Chains A and B, each alone.
Chain A
Amino acid sequence: MEATKKPLFTMWRLILVAIFSAGAVATYLRFVVGWHAATNLSDAQPWGVWVGLSTLCGVGLSAGGFATAAAVYLLGMERYRPIVRPAILIAYLGYLSVCAGYVYELGLPWLAWHAFIYYNPHSVLFDVCFCILAYTTVLTIEFAPAIVEKLPWKGFRDTFMHWHHRLAVAVVLAGVLLSSMHQSFLGGLFLIFKGKIYPLWYTPHLTTMFYLSAIPAGLAMVVIALYLSNRSLGTKVDPEIIKEVAWVISPMLVLNLVWRMVDLVKHGGGPYLFLKRPETAYFWLEIALFIVIPVVMFNNRKIMNRPEGVYWTSAVVIAGFLTNRINVSINSLERATQANYFPKWPEMAIVVMMITGTVLVFRWAVIYLDILPKRVKVPTKRWMANAGVAANA
Chain B
Amino acid sequence: MATTQKALLIDITKCIGCQTCASACKEAHGTPGDPEPRLSETALTVVQEKDGKFVRKQCMHCEEPACASACLVGAITKSAQGPVVYDKSKCVGCRYCMMACPHSIPRYEWSKLAPYMKKCDMCSERVAAGKPTACAEACPVQATIFGDRDEILLEARKRVVNDPKYVPHIYGEREYGGSNMLFISDVEFDKLGFVIPKDDLPLPDVSKAALDEAPMVVLVGGTMLAGLYWITNRRREVLMAEAQKKTLRFPVMGDPEERS
Contact with B along A111-151 (1 / 0, CB 8 A): 11011001110111111010000000000000000000000
Contact with B along A65-76 (1 / 0, CB 8 A): 000001001111
**Which chain B residues border A296 with CB–CB below 8 Å?**
none
**Which chain B residues border A46 with CB–CB below 8 Å?**
95, 98-99, 108
* B72 A195 Cβ-Cβ under 8 A: no
**Which chain A residues border B140 with CB–CB below 8 Å?**
none
Within 8 A of A (CB), among B30-84: 39-40, 66, 69-75
The residue that A75 contacts in the complex, of B40, B107, B206, B228, with Cβ under 8 A, is B228
* Cα(A332)–Cα(B99), bound, Å: 13
Is A177's CB within 8 Å of the partner chain B? yes
* A107 B229 Cβ-Cβ under 8 A: no
**Which chain A residues border B217 with CB–CB below 8 Å?**
180-181, 184
* Cα(A121)–Cα(B99), bound, Å: 18
* Cα(A380)–Cα(B71), bound, Å: 50
Known: A107-B108, A204-B209. A75 touches B92 (CB 8 A): no
Is A337's CB within 8 Å of the partner chain B? yes
* B75 A191 Cβ-Cβ under 8 A: no
**Which chain B residues border A188 with CB–CB below 8 Å?**
207, 210-211
Min CB distance B46 to A, Å, is 13
Known: A108-B92, A114-B73, A122-B211. A34 touches B113 (CB 8 A): yes
* B69 A123 Cβ-Cβ under 8 A: yes
Is B111's CB within 8 Å of the partner chain A? yes
**Which chain B residues border A105 with CB–CB below 8 Å?**
94
Output the residue of A107, A125, A129 with the most chain B CB within 10 A.
Answer: A107
Contact with A along B86-99 (1 / 0, CB 8 A): 00001111111011
Output the residue of A46, A189, A206 with the most chain B CB within 10 A.
Answer: A46
* Cα(A352)–Cα(B94), bound, Å: 21
Where chain A touches its partner, the secondary structure class is helix
**Which chain A residues border B226 with CB–CB below 8 Å?**
173
The residue that A192 contacts in the complex, of B40, B198, B206, with Cβ under 8 A, is B206
Min CB distance A122 to B, Å, is 5
Output the residue of A43, A73, A118, A184 with the most chain B CB within 10 A.
Answer: A43
Known: A76-B236, A115-B92, A122-B204. A35 touches B218 (CB 8 A): no
Within 8 A of A (CB), among B106-156: 106-108, 110-116
**Nearest neighbor of B110 in chain A, beta-carbon distance:** A35
**Nearest neighbor of A333 in chain B, beta-carbon distance:** B99
* Cα(A387)–Cα(B119), bound, Å: 59
* Cα(A41)–Cα(B213), bound, Å: 33
**Nearest neighbor of A32 in chain B, beta-carbon distance:** B113
**Nearest neighbor of B74 in chain A, beta-carbon distance:** A120
* Cα(A75)–Cα(B227), bound, Å: 10
**Which chain B residues border A43 with CB–CB below 8 Å?**
39-40, 98, 104, 106-108, 110
* Cα(A207)–Cα(B226), bound, Å: 23
Is B100's CB within 8 Å of the partner chain A? yes
* Cα(A204)–Cα(B199), bound, Å: 14
* B104 A337 Cβ-Cβ under 8 A: yes
**Which chain A residues border B160 with CB–CB below 8 Å?**
none
**Which chain A residues border B95 with CB–CB below 8 Å?**
46-47, 107
* B232 A31 Cβ-Cβ under 8 A: no
* A193 B99 Cβ-Cβ under 8 A: yes
Is A36's CB within 8 Å of the partner chain B? yes
* Cα(A244)–Cα(B208), bound, Å: 39
Is A306's CB within 8 Å of the partner chain B? no
Is A154's CB within 8 Å of the partner chain B? no
Is B225's CB within 8 Å of the partner chain A? yes
Min CB distance B201 to A, Å, is 8
Min CB distance B112 to A, Å, is 8
Is B102's CB within 8 Å of the partner chain A? yes
* Cα(A115)–Cα(B206), bound, Å: 22
Known: A70-B225, A74-B225. A196 touches B102 (CB 8 A): yes
Within 8 A of B (CB), among A61-116: 70, 73-76, 105-109, 111-112, 114-115
* B225 A173 Cβ-Cβ under 8 A: yes
* A169 B229 Cβ-Cβ under 8 A: yes
Is B246's CB within 8 Å of the partner chain A? no
**Which chain B residues border A76 with CB–CB below 8 Å?**
232-233, 235-236
Min CB distance A321 to B, Å, is 21
Is A44's CB within 8 Å of the partner chain B? yes
**Which chain A residues border B94 with CB–CB below 8 Å?**
105-107, 125
Is A335's CB within 8 Å of the partner chain B? no
Min CB distance A42 to B, Å, is 7
Sample (18) of A-B pairs whose CB atoms are under 8 Å apart: A34-B110, A34-B111, A43-B108, A46-B99, A70-B225, A76-B233, A111-B93, A115-B92, A120-B73, A123-B69, A173-B229, A177-B221, A184-B217, A188-B211, A191-B206, A192-B206, A204-B206, A206-B210
Residues of chain B at the chain A interface (Cβ within 8 Å): 39-40, 66, 69-75, 90-96, 98-100, 102, 104, 106-108, 110-116, 195, 197-198, 203-204, 206-211, 213-214, 217-218, 221-222, 225-226, 228-229, 232-233, 235-236
Residues of chain A at the chain B interface (Cβ within 8 Å): 31-32, 34-36, 41-44, 46-47, 70, 73-76, 105-109, 111-112, 114-115, 118-120, 122-127, 129, 169, 173, 176-177, 180-181, 184-185, 188-189, 191-196, 204, 206-207, 336-337
Q: A34-B112, A125-B94 are in contact. List 13 more A-B contacts (CB 8 A).
A: A43-B104, A107-B115, A108-B91, A111-B91, A112-B92, A115-B73, A120-B71, A122-B208, A123-B207, A125-B72, A177-B222, A192-B66, A196-B102
